[in-house]
Amino acid sequence: MGGKGSGGHNRKPTAQKLAEGNRGKRRLNLREPKALPGEPQMPSGMTEHTKAVWPEVVAMLKANDVLFKTDGLATLCSNLVLFCQADRAVQEMGSMREKLDERTGVSTLHMNPAVRVRSDAEKQLRACWQLFGLDPSSRPGVQVDPSERDPQSALDSVLRAKSAKDEITN
């Protein structure tokens, strides 16, 4: 009945249910684990290419306020590296390969296996982007604390400040 991959609606976090009001009057999970803010540690078993991508991904997630210590960034980084490697192979060798049948002497065109690898890696990347709210369709579902966002500019704070003297009279 809901949750990722079950065919139903994705479950809302308890904080979101409290903010919207518990319309279904179902029991709330008040012991829901909290995400720990901060940068997760880089796993030790990562390849050199994946380690090189890690700081870029961390910076991107930090800029979007969706970086937590409990996040599995290794999957996102490894799929990004795999996609780039397969894309480079497709660019170098092309998407089709000619294969000569030695028995008949006829050459046939076959799809480069790197095309399939690139396609699969892209699907996995899209799934990771959706989890982190990095694509346009999933961005509205990600909530960030407005107090942790960048401070207002001086002009914004002046325009939003009101006092009794600011009343407009006709």
* Domain ranges, residue 9: 1-32
0.85 exceeded by pTM: no
Share of the chain above pLDDT 90, in %: 27
Shared domain check, 127 and 49: yes
Give the contacts of 135 (CB within 8 A, at least 6 positions apart).
126, 129
Res 33 pLDDT > 80: no
Domain count, the chain: 2
- Residue 95 contacts residue 111 (beta carbons within 8 Å): yes
Shared domain check, 57 and 13: no
Per residue in 79-124, pLDDT tens?
999 999 999 999 999 999 888 888 898 999 999 999 999 999 999 9
Per residue in 2-26, pLDDT tens?
555 556 666 777 877 888 888 888 8
In a domain, 154, yes or no: no
Mean predicted lDDT score pLDDT of the chain: 78
Among the listed residues 66, 44, 37, the one whose alpha carbon sits nearest the alpha carbon of residue 133: 66
